[in-house]
Structure 1
Amino acid sequence: MSDVSNGASAGEGHPGFGRMFGEGRLTVGLFLPLRQYAGDMEVLKGALEVVKQADASPFAAVWARDVPLFDPGFGDAGQVFDLWTYLAWLAAHTQHLALAAGSAIFTLRHPIDLAKQATTIDQLSGGRLVLGAASGDRASEFPAYGIDHLTRGERYRDAVEWFRELTEVTRPAISSGLGRLGGGVDLLPKPAFGRVPLVVTGSSQQKAEWIAGNADGWLVYPGSVYGEGPKALGAKAAAWRELIPGGAFKPVATNEWIELVEDRHQKPTPLRGGFVMRTGTEGLLELLGRWQDAGINHAALGVQHGRRPPAEAVAQLIEEVAPHFPALAGPEPKGLEW
């Protein structure tokens, strides 16, 4: 296999990546689902209309998760719809938003399937896919796939290398524990703009040096959003960037679950042991500004744990928050009529 640890980045050439990420800038995205599934699919209705409103706004991205199996013991069903089917649905009904996978479980999927699905979405959307890649945190899923949870780190590295070869090399020659290709066949389609941006999620059982060399960006958990928390997150991002080969810019993204209240002046307060931040607009703007000052480039905001109708909360985000951290003027998506 060729060496993919070269610090290369999707950079400015990819519409989805360019819309989300710029040095010294922070953009915001909308994390789906808008309501937490608790046994009734009705709570998921209406999300598409909200996403369409976000598509016509300064929001940079819409995020969807990859959760193959529901584990009641985990406490959160996460994403109910299949990641790739849902992204295809969203791609067909939007024109501007980056389509962010947050994140595909690279250890549970064969990289041929991952590559085929990812490049298909990227082509159908005109180059709007930004692919978060995770090693999997729901241990109960692994036995069902016949995969060892404890050795997922090695499988993850293999899957990333396969993914790069399959999507960026013509008739690749690949051999590892995941299978063997002898260079006689190829994977189609290739990405719309030469590369699908790959954003590593958390540590994914890897060393920071490996992530810095192999990822196009890093999706990192925010830690505390109070007090010195944003400064600590910024220090973590800065230390990681010191490891990037050649000093190239690679973005850092994070996320936060919020309960946005109508009162702009409501001070931020933690809910659910700090898992959710209850806040008014001004408190959220302050947090996002501190993240931007700390070198964070994108914040995915989720409203699923709030008590208000999600359409109301997102409308408030569109009006009062997104214009302060708007999507960037990256390359235009390809206007293809499939």
Structure 2
Amino acid sequence: MTIDTSGASSHAFAHHPGYRRMFAPGALTLGIFLPLRFYQGDMRALAGQADLVAAMDRQGFAAAWVRDIPLYDRRFGDAGQLFDPWTYLAYLAARTQTLALATGSAIFTLRHPVDLAKAAASIDQLSGGRLVLGTAAGDRASEFPAYGVPHATRGERYAQAVHMFRQLLRPGPAQISGPLGSLDGLELLPKPAAGAIPLVVTSSSGQPLAWIGRHADGWLTYPEATHTPDGPRRLADKIRAWRACIPDGGFRPHMCNEWLDLVDDADYPRTPVRSGYVLRTGRKGLIDLLGEWRDAGVNHAALGIQHGQRPAAQVLQELAEEVLPHFPSHAGVPARGPQW
């Protein structure tokens, strides 16, 4: 089987509200990873979170990110936002107007492409074209036995799932024959609101860099070190190497994420904590880091504030008032279609 999963140029998303709000060459925007506070045995940790996401929409953030963690493994100590990502994005779509809704990341190896395409296209329609689909092969080996999927096959299965997913979203009935299933004249509905959904590859997802260059609509990677300029310089080298693999040389956005403990001292220096997994800093250090990322070629920064000690609403307010003006969201295009 020939797998044609080529990524689309930015022109393909010229009318996609979520993509246009988040991405433009030479610029960086800000998004927030959910949950705003970690689950530690009590669902009430998420109480009021949707209200804060609605406030983020009004404050001008570019995106809200949700994670796809089907099963809680205590060894990771992180259950994400607990709610199924598709169900929760549908809820947030009804609470927001302009905020892009992003997955970081949908596990394409553990879910069938028909179900992925149905859910993604539904969210995209319900939100008026605001879905940006981060995808991954899955990094929690403990989840794979529950799905009957060998962890060792995740790279191959990921590429197969991306192929079938894109085939299903094309106009008209599908003709598909492959290892994950066959369709003969059946059609998946609905189709995306703007005709396509940006498909972002997370980390390597079991693929070589050349594959990501050819097939990704964008690339989400973990940062290098964030407490000194050396990390962003290494990140710039990685981004340049990836963009050199893009066949037409056109723009594809790069995204990066950081877990952040934003302290109330604006001058607090950038300090790695929790073995470098979290960056503790004041807002001036964060602004410096984001500027270094932008210069490195990063187009969107997804920040997680779960590890912070301050109230989430307070941190979001400071980010909106003091940091967001340096990295504003793009006006883009308005959400498409009726208010379902």
TM-score, normalized by length of structure 2?
0.97
State how far apart, in whole Å, the 1-side matches of 2:246 and 2:76 are: 34
Residue number among 263, 266, 272 corresponding to 1:264 in the alignment: 266
- Asked if structure 2 preserves the Cα contact closer than 8 Å seen for 1:16 and 1:98, the reply is yes
State how far apart, in whole Å, the 2-side matches of 1:331 and 1:105 are: 29
What is aligned with 2:204?
A: 203
- Asked if structure 2 preserves the Cα contact closer than 8 Å seen for 1:6 and 1:245, the reply is no
Asked if 1:85 is matched to 2:87, the reply is yes
What is aligned with 2:336?
A: 334
Q: Shift in Å at residue 170 of structure 1?
A: 1.6
2:287 is paired with a residue whose SS is helix
Q: Shift in Å at residue 6 of structure 1?
A: 5.8
**1:244 partner amino acid:** I
- Asked if structure 2 preserves the Cα contact closer than 8 Å seen for 1:7 and 1:212, the reply is no
Residue number among 119, 123, 126 corresponding to 2:125 in the alignment: 123
Q: Shift in Å at residue 270 of structure 1?
A: 1.1
2:138 is paired with a residue whose SS is coil
Asked if 1:16 is matched to 2:8, the reply is no
State how far apart, in whole Å, the 2-side matches of 1:80 and 1:61 are: 19
Matches within 5 A, 1:1-338: 3-5=4-6, 7-9=8-10, 10-182=12-184, 184-227=185-228, 228-338=230-340
Seq. identity, %? 59
**1:138 partner amino acid:** R
Q: Shift in Å at residue 75 of structure 1?
A: 2.4
- Structure 2: 5+ residue runs without aligned partners? none
The C-alpha deviation readout for 1:87-145, integer Å capped at 9, x for no partner, is: 00000000010000111000000000000000000001000000000000010100000
How many residue pairs end up in the alignment?
A: 337
State how far apart, in whole Å, the 2-side matches of 1:169 and 1:12 are: 18
1:230 is paired with a residue whose SS is helix
Q: Please provide the CA RMSD for this pair.
A: 1.2
1:19 is paired with a residue whose SS is helix
* 1:19–1:6 distance in 2 versus 1, CA, 3 Å: closer
**1:207 partner amino acid:** P
- Asked if structure 1 preserves the Cα contact closer than 8 Å seen for 2:7 and 2:217, the reply is no
- Structure 1: 5+ residue runs without aligned partners? none
TM-score, normalized by length of structure 1?
0.97
The C-alpha deviation readout for 1:155-194, integer Å capped at 9, x for no partner, is: 1011000110001242111111111112x21000000001
Q: Shift in Å at residue 253 of structure 1?
A: 0.1
**1:95 partner amino acid:** Q
Write out the 4+ residue segments of structure 1 that deviate beyond 3 Å after TM superposition: 6-11
Q: Shift in Å at residue 2 of structure 1?
A: 7.3
2:319 is paired with a residue whose SS is helix
1:13 is paired with a residue whose SS is coil
**1:116 partner amino acid:** K
Q: Shift in Å at residue 5 of structure 1?
A: 2.3
- Asked if structure 1 preserves the Cα contact closer than 8 Å seen for 2:177 and 2:183, the reply is yes
- Asked if structure 1 preserves the Cα contact closer than 8 Å seen for 2:5 and 2:215, the reply is yes
Q: Shift in Å at residue 48 of structure 1?
A: 1.2
